[in-house]
């Protein structure tokens, strides 16, 4: 299957330069709905879903390939190459920030600029490095995910209910956002929160914009500062928006910060 179908790629906009938006853990491309349209006038906007999320093909999930963020980065590279992207702008939220770093390292010609929203190269505390979490927190998160897949989200995805022969149910559920395959989502959570890509920050040459939210539990200020320090060519912009998803909670501020920089 070609990468554009596999990742449910949507292309819009009237501009020349590609702006590729990558969603983070827990969501799909819908999370860009308040931000991406703002760039359609000036850019060619590319949205996609990671495997196991949204409308991506779950069967493309490869336990081996996707056992590390590098596999997700390879997916990004494949999508960009299939679209003939050169010197594009990559906008990655949350875990997709580091996925973008990895993609830029392996194929520097694809993206001339990187926008990282709430990046964290390592979520687990390690000596002096404060990622914000202990390993046990992540294990507990898995339990939550199980409970929630049994609850509301279990009702949302036909494959969980074993009702794949009832397509009207899937149709009905298309209104819901952030559809995920529970097993893949759990594994994605593990890969995300147990990743340590601090050493991959070395050698990234493209200019980088770091958007740091206030009071972000997932990527605290100290982590944003760490990333900024390790990327000499980066700019750090502290948003007034709180939480981990400024693209949803404060789209205007997010748009403005990006636009000002590019």
Partner 1 sequence: MTGSKLPDFDDETLYEDAPCGYLATRPDGEVIRVNRTFLRWTGYSAKELHGTRFQDKLTLAGRIYHETHFAPLLRMQGAISELALDFVCKDGARLPTLVNTVQKTDPDGRPIVNLTTIFDARDRRRYEQDLLGARDSARQAASELQRLNSELEQRIAAAVEERLKAEDALRQAQKMEAIGQLTGGVAHDFNNLLTLVIGGLDLIDRQLPSQPPGPGTERIRRARDAAMEGARRAAKLTQHLLAFARRQPLQPKLLEINRLIREISDMLRRTLGEQVELEAVLGGGLWNVEADPVQLENAILNLAVNARDAMGAGGKLTIETHNASLDDSYVEGIPEGLRPGQYVMIAVSDTGCGMALDTQAKVFEPFFTTKEVGKGTGLGLSQVYGFVRQSGGHVRIYSELGVGTSVKIYLPRARAGVKAERRESNVEPTAIRGDERILLVEDHEDLREHVAGILADLGYQVTATADGPSALAAIEEGSDFDLLLTDVILPGGMNGRQIATRALQLRPRLKVLFMTGYTQNAIVHDGRLDAGVALISKPFTYDQLGAKVRAQLDGLSVSFAT
Q: Which residues are catalytic?
A: 94, 216, 244
For the chain, give the secondary structure using H, E and C: CCHHHHCCCEEECCCCCEEEEECCCCCCHHHHCCCHHHHCCCCEEEECCCCCECCCCHHHCCCCHHHCHHHHHHHHHHHHHHCCCCCEEEEEECHHHHHHHHHHHHCCCCEEEEEEECCCCECECECCECCCECHHHHHHHHHHHHHHHHCHHHHCCHHHHCCCCCHHHHHHHCCCCCCECHHHHHHHHHHHHCCECHHHHCCCCCCEEEEEEECCCCCCHHHHHHHHHHCCCEEEEEEEEECCCHHHHCHHHHHHHHHHHC
Q: Which of 18, 19, 31, 114 binds partner 1 (CB under 8 A)?
A: 31
Q: In this chain, which stretch among 54-62, 76-84, 101-109, 149-157 interacts with partner 1, using CB under 8 A?
A: 149-157
- Should residue 82 be labelled a site residue for partner 1 when binding is judged by CB under 8 A? no
Closest CB to partner 1 among 228 and 244? 244
Closest CB to partner 1 among 45 and 110? 45
Q: How far is the CB of 260 from partner 1 (least distance, A)?
A: 22
**Binding residues for partner 1, how many (CB under 8 A)?**
35
Closest CB to partner 1 among 86 and 217? 217
* Residues within the interface to partner 1 (CB under 8 A): 24-27, 30-31, 33, 94, 133, 137-138, 140-141, 143-148, 150-152, 176-178, 193, 216-218, 242-245, 248-249
């Amino acid at each position: 299957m070609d990468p554009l179908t596999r990742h449910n790629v949507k292309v819009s906009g009237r501009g020349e330069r590609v702006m590729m938006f990558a969603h983070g853990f827990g969501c799909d491309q819908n999370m860009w709905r308040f931000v991406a349209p703002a760039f359609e006038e000036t850019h060619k906007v590319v949205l996609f879903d990671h495997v196991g999320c949204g409308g991506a093909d779950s069967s493309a999930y490869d336990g081996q390939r996707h056992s590390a963020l590098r596999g997700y980065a390879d997916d990004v590279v494949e999508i960009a190459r299939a679209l003939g992207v050169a010197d594009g702008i990559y906008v990655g939220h949350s875990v997709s920030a580091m996925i973008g770093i990895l993609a830029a390292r392996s194929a520097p010609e694809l993206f001339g600029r990187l926008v990282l929203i709430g990046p964290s190269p390592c979520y687990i505390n390690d000596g002096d490095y404060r990622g914000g979490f202990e390993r046990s927190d992540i294990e507990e998160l898995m339990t939550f995910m199980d409970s929630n897949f049994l609850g509301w989200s279990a009702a949302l995805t036909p494959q969980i209910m074993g009702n794949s022969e009832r397509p009207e149910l899937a149709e009905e559920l298309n209104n819901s956002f952030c559809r995920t395959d529970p097993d893949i989502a759990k594994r994605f959570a593990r890969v995300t929160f147990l990743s340590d890509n601090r050493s991959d920050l070395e050698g990234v040459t493209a200019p980088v914009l770091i958007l740091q939210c206030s009071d972000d539990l997932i990527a605290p200020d100290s982590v944003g500062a760490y990333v900024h320090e390790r990327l000499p060519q980066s700019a750090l912009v502290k948003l007034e928006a709180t939480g981990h998803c400024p693209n949803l909670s404060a789209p205007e501020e997010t748009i403005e910060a990006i636009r000002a920089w590019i």
